[in-house]
Structure 1
């Protein structure tokens, strides 16, 4: 660090050249909008089984190497997720698959779900009416994510009661990299 301070181009108080911030979420592109959504949970064993099943089908899927990440989650642990229903589930899943889907989070102040894609892109994915019950459900969903070391999922279906997924992404909250 001291060598940098002695560099002739050093300017005390200047902002770093590369900074990763948490930008305000943008409006979700129309092609990514679902018709309904719900907070859901599946036991970890069911998530692993679902991924295995979907990998054999022609389904849009995004998985993570949990062993490589060092996650040790018990089979019965409930993994939180968001299920999205759309009458155009297959095209919606295809569009979603074209993104580098990273994670989802709840913003209880704004009453919305935020989808993070890539290194610094965030979308307001869905909104909800801010009520005590809705806020409690959103906070419980975030608490469940923390209990799973940040693991969660996004499932796209033709309706919320369906057992068939057209898209399934395993997501993980990660801290920003040090810059």
Structure 2
């Protein structure tokens, strides 16, 4: 099990490194080429399919938009090393993200009476990001290269729309950084699953 986790982390690290390299290459090499055509269709276009229904084993019972200071996020990440909590982190040094410990990081807390099995199932996916689809009042979970699921829905009101907009704005202020926490109860301070996530657009090449 441990060796499999190492392989998955290595694959994710390599994919992330490749995406960052392509982005840097685009800015420093491709845009300066005499034949560069701005706005041309990327050669490595990735399909962005319509989101699918979430498998029943991944459905939580309650959820809420939340925020944690970065210091608390780092504490949750450190708990991943004890193997008592499911989840994954990011190499913030590789990403060049520097955040003050007091900065509030937006996240999504999901509660379930079967929190541990839910977290275990989620751990089998390469969870990438969560975004609020404001027009359809739902949350979209992105996994792997192009997998997308309808993770949750909510009643569309001025209040819920404003909350979702504020959550997306907070993500943008943190460079796309956010998290997913799975708990037995929304009022609990303990997580059984914690994923540090990032909105990372595909390279424009």
**TM-score with structure 1 setting the length:** 0.88
In 2, Cα distance between equivalents of 1:56 and 1:73: 24
Q: CA deviation at 1:21?
A: 2.8
Alignment of 1:1-179 (within 5 A): 19-179=45-205
Question: Any stretches of 5+ residues in structure 2 without a counterpart?
Answer: 1-40
3-state SS of paired residue (1:122): strand
Q: In 2 relative to 1, CA 85–17 (structure 1 residues): closer, same or farther, beyond 3 Å?
A: same
Give the greater-gyration-radius structure (CA). Answer: 1
Q: CA deviation at 1:59?
A: 1.1
Q: Is the 8 A contact 1:112 1:128 kept in 2?
A: yes
In 1, Cα distance between equivalents of 2:42 and 2:159: 42
Q: CA RMSD in A?
A: 1.5
Aligned length: 165
Q: CA deviation at 1:52?
A: 1.2
Q: CA deviation at 1:126?
A: 0.2
Q: Is the 8 A contact 1:40 1:83 kept in 2?
A: yes
**TM-score with structure 2 setting the length:** 0.77
